[in-house]
Amino acid sequence: MSFPPTLKQLRYLVALHKHSHFGKAADASHVTQSTLSAGIQELENLLGAQLVERTKRSVMFTTLGNEVVRRATGILNDVDDLTDMAEAAKNPLSGTIRMGVIPTIAPFLLPKIMPVIGKELPELVLHLREDKSADLCDLLKKGDLDVVLYALPFECGNAHEMPLFPDPFVAVYPSGEAPGAEISTDDLDEDKLLLLDEGHCLRDHALEACSLVGRRAGRELANTSLATILPMVAAGHGMTLLPGMAVEAGIANNMPVDIATFGDAIPTRMIGLIWRATNPRASTFEALGNAIKNAAHH
């Protein structure tokens, strides 16, 4: 191999892998389709191997192609981190941060914290994305996100965690059916417990916090949200566990439900930030985390 692959060629290949379409990958790379296709062909010639199987209707990567994409993603992340490091050295509290937020945090916390972040860190620009935990983790690993606002713990490879504050769970029952205004985890009847499906980390954290790990909820509701579970509870189809921030934000207002808090050994989830351990903007993310913590306590 006379010359090593260029970063541009690697970016073209990663873009094609992401979009599985030459036209869409070219648009995302801000080049013409012929330029992108030629760049990938040059990369294949340099490596002396086919990376992509091309047909008129589909794009399929070879085994080697997938491995090259995996390694190229790491290389490009390192290059981007190098650029970020230089920018952060100029002014750590400025620039753009791409932040992911899980659905069981976003609607309840973002309206509260965004004004505070804007006031405390006026030169930071946040680009937000809401998605499930596993999908946000993948985006973080690929370098498409800088930081994620998670419920911890969540395993996401070589990532740094910054715990911010605990979010206690409360129990929600149909009106008149709560065992009392204050309960213990022993009062929970898993046969009546409604939770989100296994794609949501809230389910796992709730079961673990309430010492119900290894036991199934009475019903798991796939492809739904807390706002959908609450009417089920109100209609008498079971009870559920809600994060305290959701109740504080008013999710259960004007609904025929009873909310019971826990006495001793209050089950909680920990809200925190995670970012790639190799990302050099740790001081920026820590400042963001402190602003979120300050806003949450107001």
What is the per-residue pLDDT across 99-110, written as a single tens digit (0 to 9) for each? 999 999 999 999
151 and 225, same domain (yes or no): no
CA 142/CA 146 separation, integer angstroms: 10
Which residues make Cβ contacts (< 8 Å) with residue 24, sequence separation at least 6?
none
What per-residue confidence (pLDDT) applies to 192? 86
The overall average pLDDT reported for the chain is 87
68 and 197, same domain (yes or no): no
User: 157 pLDDT exceeds 80?
Assistant: yes
* Domain containing residue 207: CATH number: 3.40.190.10
255 and 282, same domain (yes or no): no
Indicate whether 2 belongs to any domain: no
Contact between residue 229 and residue 202 where contact means Cβ atoms under 8 Å apart: no
Instruction: Give me the number of domains the chain comprises.
Output: 3
Question: Which of 86, 111, 144 finishes a domain?
Answer: 86
Question: Which of 86, 103, 135 finishes a domain?
Answer: 86
134 and 279, same domain (yes or no): yes
49 and 181, same domain (yes or no): no
Question: Which of 26, 52, 86 finishes a domain?
Answer: 86
CA 224/CA 150 separation, integer angstroms: 19
140 and 154, same domain (yes or no): yes
What per-residue confidence (pLDDT) applies to 88? 66
173 and 256, same domain (yes or no): yes
Mind listing the pLDDT tens digit for each residue in 47-91?
999 999 987 778 899 999 999 999 999 889 888 878 777 776 667
CA 298/CA 287 separation, integer angstroms: 17
Structural domain boundaries enclosing 104:
92-163+271-296
What per-residue confidence (pLDDT) applies to 199? 57
pTM for the structure as a whole: 0.72
Mind listing the pLDDT tens digit for each residue in 202-228?
777 777 877 765 555 555 555 567 888
* Domain containing residue 23: CATH number: 1.10.10.10
Indicate whether 1 belongs to any domain: no
Interval 103-130 mean pLDDT: 93
